[in-house]
Structure 1
Amino acid sequence: MSESEELIIYPVPSLVATLLNRGRAKGSPLTEQEVIQIHDVCPSIALRPDQVRQIEDQRGYKDIDPENCWEEWQEARKDLINDESTEV
């Protein structure tokens, strides 16, 4: 399968935005179980790699990898907590 035929399952809205909003609504850091549960039910669509790049270019940031959502969320959260005005 060529890259143009390969499809990527991509969360929409972005997983990092969803996790950020859920954590803010909770009022405390999400647990690993909560992050995985959110990942498991988040709406997603199938996109070609060039479409993913276009969306990320328009958003201005790269989403976290759903396959490593807990680990990548821990890193992203550190940056986002330091800037409470961040909107993703």
Structure 2
Amino acid sequence: MKNPEELYLVHVPALVAVLLSKEKEKGTPLTEAEVQEITNNSECIAMPLYAKREVEESRGYVDINPENCWAEWLVARAALNRS
């Protein structure tokens, strides 16, 4: 069982939204280095698991995991470009 007092970093706004916005602003696909830099410099808030889950529920999706941001961004980007 997870420690109820353990804190999780939640990007606000969602990391996927920040990356999408930066890519649209740039006009070309982000590089892995750019995704890493944006991820490392994006705003986030530490919160307990129950609050993190509430944020995810209110967003309607689970955000990109910052520790696996490049691989998850490629998947999210492909899905967003299909819609």
TM-score normalised to structure 1 length: 0.89
Q: One-letter code of the match for 2:52?
A: V
Partner in structure 1 of residue 26 of structure 2: 26
Provide the rounded CA distance (Å) in 2 between the counterparts of 1:25 and 1:82.
19
Structure 2: unaligned runs, 5 residues or longer = none
Counterpart secondary structure, 1:5: coil
Give the number of aligned pairs: 82
Partner in structure 2 of residue 86 of structure 1: none
Q: One-letter code of the match for 2:76?
A: A
> Structure 1 or 2: larger helix share?
2
Runs ≥4 residues deviating over 6 A: none
1:46-61 alignment to 2 at 5 Å? 46-61=46-61
Q: CA deviation at 1:3?
A: 2.7
8 Å contact kept, 1:64–1:72: yes
TM-score normalised to structure 2 length: 0.94
Q: CA deviation at 1:62?
A: 0.7
Provide the rounded CA distance (Å) in 2 between the counterparts of 1:25 and 1:3.
40
Deviations 1:11-37 (A, max 9, x none): 111100000111111111100000000
Partner in structure 2 of residue 75 of structure 1: 75
Provide the rounded CA distance (Å) in 1 between the counterparts of 2:23 and 2:12.
17
CA RMSD of aligned residues (A): 0.9
When structure 1 is superposed on structure 2, of 60-69 and 3-12 the one drifting more is: 3-12
Deviations 1:21-59 (A, max 9, x none): 111111111000000000110001101111111011011
